């Protein structure tokens, strides 16, 4: 294994790979990625694969808008021959209460001001998009045709391949066990296959980012939370858009492959590294999804699994340095939507690490905001 | 490998061929979890009951590792395909 590096990225998920590529592209010198299992083995490979530009805060709208633009031509942008299965089939977000209607209409004003073409649909108009959905309780919905999905394994592979083409070294099956530091400066990272001397680390360890922070005495307010998900047998294409109901706390989408993928958020999920599947989820999921999309009752569920959301107190990521340790940068706390914003996240991280002017202002992602009480709470999450 | 072998279907649910599997192994994907994710083998209705042992043998042959050392992918519930409708009302009865 290499003995020293200018920058070590910890974590081979989509965020670590995107960051490593962008660092190399901006001429960061020797960049190394260390991944304890294989690429996309963490949340990235367990996620719902959805991408949407319909958000409730300006920051999330901008991050996702720019990322979707990049995903739309990612293979050309990265000069790799990998199909990332990019599909824009829209997201339908139905509203079931007056306060949801009010919030959604506020979101539309924000989104439209940012050149995001989401629009309001009456219940009848919802049927034009999803003819078999139940209108029970539906007061209307927002819809954005630019939303959709792409394949997280392929996006990660695309970034990893492009990064390697620029000289990045990626070590899989290589867990960072410890980080050596002295007087607030990083000296090296320690793995079972040897040490790498470095003064700069990017912590992109997802649900494990708090543990990595602790290796240098930095306490990040990020905690892991299990989220479950299931997939059905593949059938003929019938459902175009992702249907996401914040009222039922669920999302459901048919993949290009024909299978339906769906998940839901559980309000009482404790902080844990547990990623076991439960029968309770299976039953809750079936119950709630059939209420909204009745014909799905006839489908066979073939597999369920779970992954970790890396939760932050305001469900907005932490991107940047922590004052307690020089050149220890974190890109984590994505709270369930880190895949879709990974292209711009990698770019911003590279700019931050290299001290270049950033594409957007990034002070709202500063880890110190929680102590200062400046939270940027995102209302639109499952 | 002759053309016949190459086109042999290893994963019948997802139409993955022996040629495809051997290419992936040659590219360094030496682990069933990785191969499953890159080409969907074992993700179909039978959940790998047919293809997993065959692919494990291919990995063993290519890497010289004993078959017992090839880690099996995580076994995911439900055990067999189950209709959504069969799951309705279960929690209330419990
Ligand atoms: C069920 C579910 C559904 C989701 N749906 C969506 C969705 O539809 N759209 C969306 O945008 N997002 C979704 N997400 C969120 C998304 O998956 C994550 O935000 C995103 O994948 C984060 O990427 P990452 O690279 O930061 O983390 P990860 O992919 O978790 O990568 C971190 C990596 O770090 C490695 N690691 C940890 N510790 C160490 C160590 N000490 N040494 C070396 N390596 C280490 C891990 O093995 C892991 O591979 C979902 C998540 C879940 C769980």
In the three-class reduction of DSSP (H, G, I as helix; E, B as strand; rest coil), residue B94 is classed as coil
pLDDT digits (tens, 9 = 90+) for A145-157: 999 999 999 999 9
Asked whether the beta carbons of residue B78 and residue A301 sit closer than 8 angstroms, the reply is: yes
Say what the ipTM of the complex is. Answer: 0.84
Asked whether A37 lines ligand 1 (CB < 6 A), one says yes
Residues A256-272 have pLDDT tens digits of 889 999 999 888 888 98
Query: Ligand 1 pocket check: which of A13, A55, A86, A209 to mutate, most ligand atoms within 8 Å of Cβ?
Result: A13
**pTM reported for the whole predicted model:** 0.95
**Which of chain B's residues have a Cβ under 8 Å away from the Cβ of A45?**
37
Dump pLDDT digits (tens) for A189-241. 999 999 999 999 999 999 999 999 999 999 999 999 999 999 999 999 888 89
Strand pairing of A91-95 and A242-245? Answer: parallel
A331-343 confidence digits (pLDDT tens): 999 999 999 999 9
Nearest CA to CA, how far is B90 from chain A (Å)?
7
Positions of E strands within B1-94: 9-11, 16-17, 82-83
- CB contact under 8 Å between B81 and A301, yes or no, is yes
């Amino acid at each position: 294994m290499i003995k020293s590096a200018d920058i070590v990225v910890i974590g081979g998920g989509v965020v670590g790979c995107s960051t490593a590529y962008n660092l190399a592209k901006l001429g960061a010198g020797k960049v190394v990625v260390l991944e304890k299992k294989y690429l996309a083995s963490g949340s990235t490979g367990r996620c719902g694969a959805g991408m949407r530009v319909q958000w409730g805060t300006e920051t999330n709208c901008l991050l996702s808008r720019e990322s979707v633009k990049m995903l739309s031509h990612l293979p050309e942008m990265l000069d790799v021959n990998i199909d990332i299965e990019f599909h824009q089939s829209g997201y339908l977000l139905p509203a079931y209460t007056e306060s949801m209607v009010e919030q959604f209409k506020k979101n539309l004003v924000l989104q439209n001001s940012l050149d995001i073409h989401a629009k309001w649909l009456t219940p009848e108009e919802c049927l034009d998009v999803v003819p078999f959905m139940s209108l029970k309780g539906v007061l209307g919905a927002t819809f954005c045709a630019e939303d959709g999905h792409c394949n997280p394994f392929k996006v990660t592979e695309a970034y990893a391949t492009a990064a390697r083409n620029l000289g990045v070294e990626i070590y899989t099956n290589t867990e960072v066990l410890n980080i050596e530091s002295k007087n607030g400066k990083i000296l090296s990272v320690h793995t079972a296959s040897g040490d790498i001397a470095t003064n700069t680390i990017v912590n992109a360890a997802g649900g494990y980012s708090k543990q990595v922070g602790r290796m240098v005495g930095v306490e990040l307010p990020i905690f892991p939370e299990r989220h479950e998900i299931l997939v059905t047998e593949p059938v003929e294409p019938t459902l175009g858009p992702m249907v996401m109901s914040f009222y039922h706390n669920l999302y459901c989408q048919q993949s290009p492959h024909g299978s339906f993928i769906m998940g839901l958020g559980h309000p009482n999920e404790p902080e844990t590294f547990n990623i076991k599947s439960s029968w309770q989820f299976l039953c809750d999921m079936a119950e709630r999804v059939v209420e909204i999309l009745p014909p799905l009752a006839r489908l066979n569920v073939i597999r369920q699994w779970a992954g970790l959301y890396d939760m932050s107190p305001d469900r907005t990521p932490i991107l940047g340095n922590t004052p307690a340790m020089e050149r220890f940068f974190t890109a984590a706390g994505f709270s369930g939507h880190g895949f879709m914003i990974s292209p711009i996240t990698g770019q911003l991280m590279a700019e931050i690490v290299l001290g270049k002017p950033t594409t957007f202002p990034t002070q709202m992602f500063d880890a110190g905001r929680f102590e200062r009480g400046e939270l940027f709470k995102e209302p639109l999450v499952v | 490998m002759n053309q016949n072998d190459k086109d042999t279907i290893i994963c019948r649910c997802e139409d993955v061929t022996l040629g495809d599997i051997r290419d992936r192994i040659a590219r360094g994907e030496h682990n069933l979890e990785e191969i499953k994710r890159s080409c969907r083998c074992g993700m179909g209705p039978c959940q790998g009951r047919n293809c997993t042992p065959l692919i494990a043998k291919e990995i063993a042959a290519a890497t010289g590792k004993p078959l017992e050392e090839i880690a099996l992918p995580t076994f995911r519930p439900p055990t067999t395909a189950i209709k959504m409708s069969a799951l309705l009302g279960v929690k209330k009865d419990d």
